[in-house]
Amino acid sequence: VKAIRRLARLAPAAVLPLPLAGCAGWQSALDPHGPGAAALARLIWIFTGVSVVVWVLVMIALALAVGSRRALPPPGDPLAVDPGHDRRAALVITFAIGVTFIILLVLTGLSYSAQKTITEPQPNELSIRVTGYQWWWDVRYEDADASRTFTTANEIHVPVGRPVRLTLGATDVIHSFWVPNLTGKMDLVPGRQNELRLTADRAGVYRGQCSEYCGYQHAHMGILVVADPPEEFEAWRNRQIAAAEAPADPLRQKGMELFLSRPCVVCHSVRGTPAGSRGGPDLTHVGSRRSIAAGMLPTNRGTLAAWIADPQGIKPGSKMPTMELQADEINAIAAYLEGLK
């Protein structure tokens, strides 16, 4: 019994750090790595702090009132007024309304200024168009020079320190783009263009998630934002702009032939080959991405083969059908795709 009692006493100490531990990490609004997220985190803390203070004050007032031993007025005429009491009550109520009004005014001002930090256009923005699909992200880098535009999927690279403007759209249902370490969330609505801005202060990989329920695989609609130092970003962009290299070894050559002769070309693009469809993620440099299937699996030959063999087993309901392929065909296609760096 003693041991249990001691455990019970320790339990709160063990549980308390858990919610706090949830505040750090690579998908947390309370661990900001950019000015947008920082403005929001500040807002969250201020709102929480003010609410806590108000709550504590109200509770103290309530406790004082309940515990007050002041005698009730003697029973008499219930309509008799006590002008002194009425004046005091009016004063307290006016004061409380005034304070509430000022607090609301200040909080509104603060959230307006945070909103401004998040949405205001910045000079020298990098422009990226993100389109939500069930259940993956199409990512198009725009440039005044058309030869420098290109498409990729599910992984956005940005240069550290440079402001980014995201133009958000969707083709099927409403999705929502949310990378909490970098900025607030914004919906992707079919037939509409929304804008969201972010700047990454530090290099790193930030995970995001679709945050508007969009169907069966909504929970498996992740996105990565990779913030690279500017030179690394330029190198990455130049590699992405380039078409896929033709494979040199026989296995990968066979994989490419199979890829181009199977239903894959109905939905996928590999720039530099005849495959040019837009129904699924662009695969031109799929081997260079950290994950496939919108963050579900790390990219390697094994996971690529597993995905091609049975996408419906891995991500039931996804818009890629399970196709009839032989094991050696799957192996060759996986080798081909893995090499598309």
At which residue do the structure tokens 């007024």 appear? 81
* DSSP three-state, residue 216: coil
**Separation of alpha carbons 145 and 147, rounded Å:** 6
Tell whether residue 223 is a contact of Cu ion (CB under 5 A): no
Tell whether residue 270 is a contact of ligand HEC (CB under 6 A): no
163-198 b/e (C-beta count within 10 Å ≥ 16 → b): bbbbbbbbeebebbbbbbbbbbbbbbbeeeebebbb
One residue of 130, 164, 226, 337 binding ligand HEC per CB under 6 A:
337
Tell whether residue 281 is a contact of ligand HEC (CB under 6 A): yes
160 binds, among Cu ion, ligand HEC, none (CB under 5 to 8 A by kind): none
Tell whether residue 262 is a contact of ligand HEC (CB under 6 A): yes
Helix 327-338 × helix 250-261 angle, to 10°: 110
**Separation of alpha carbons 247 and 270, rounded Å:** 13
Tell whether residue 221 is a contact of Cu ion (CB under 5 A): yes
The one segment of 9-17, 19-27, 204-212, 270-278 that binds Cu ion by CB under 5 A: 204-212
Hey, what amino acid is at 230? P
Sheet with 204-210: strands ordered across: 155-159, 222-228, 204-210, 175-178, 186-188
User: Among residue numbers 256 through 295, which ones bind Cu ion (CB under 5 A)?
Assistant: none
Tokens of 96: 């409380």
Rank residues 118 and 210 by Cβ distance to Cu ion and give the closer one. 210
210 binds, among Cu ion, ligand HEC, none (CB under 5 to 8 A by kind): Cu ion
The one segment of 97-105, 140-148, 221-229, 297-305 that binds Cu ion by CB under 5 A: 221-229
Tokens of 113: 């200024």
Tell whether residue 251 is a contact of ligand HEC (CB under 6 A): no
Contact assessment for residue 334 and residue 271, using Cβ atoms and an 8 Å cutoff: no
The one segment of 24-32, 205-213, 297-305, 319-327 that binds Cu ion by CB under 5 A: 205-213
**Separation of alpha carbons 265 and 281, rounded Å:** 11
Residues in contact with ligand HEC, shown as a per-residue x/- string from 112 to 151 under the rule CB under 6 A: -----------------------xx---------------
Tell whether residue 259 is a contact of ligand HEC (CB under 6 A): yes
One residue of 240, 318, 331, 338 binding ligand HEC per CB under 6 A:
318
One residue of 103, 174, 241, 323 binding ligand HEC per CB under 6 A:
323
Tokens of 174: 């409403």
Tokens of 35: 């000015």
The alpha-carbon radius of gyration of the chain (Å, integer) is 29
Rank residues 302 and 316 by Cβ distance to Cu ion and give the closer one. 316
User: Among residue numbers 194 through 223, which ones bind ligand HEC (CB under 6 A)?
Assistant: 217
Footprint of ligand HEC (CB under 6 A): 135-136, 153-154, 217, 259, 262-264, 266-268, 279-281, 283, 286, 289, 292-294, 304, 307-308, 315, 318-321, 323, 333, 337
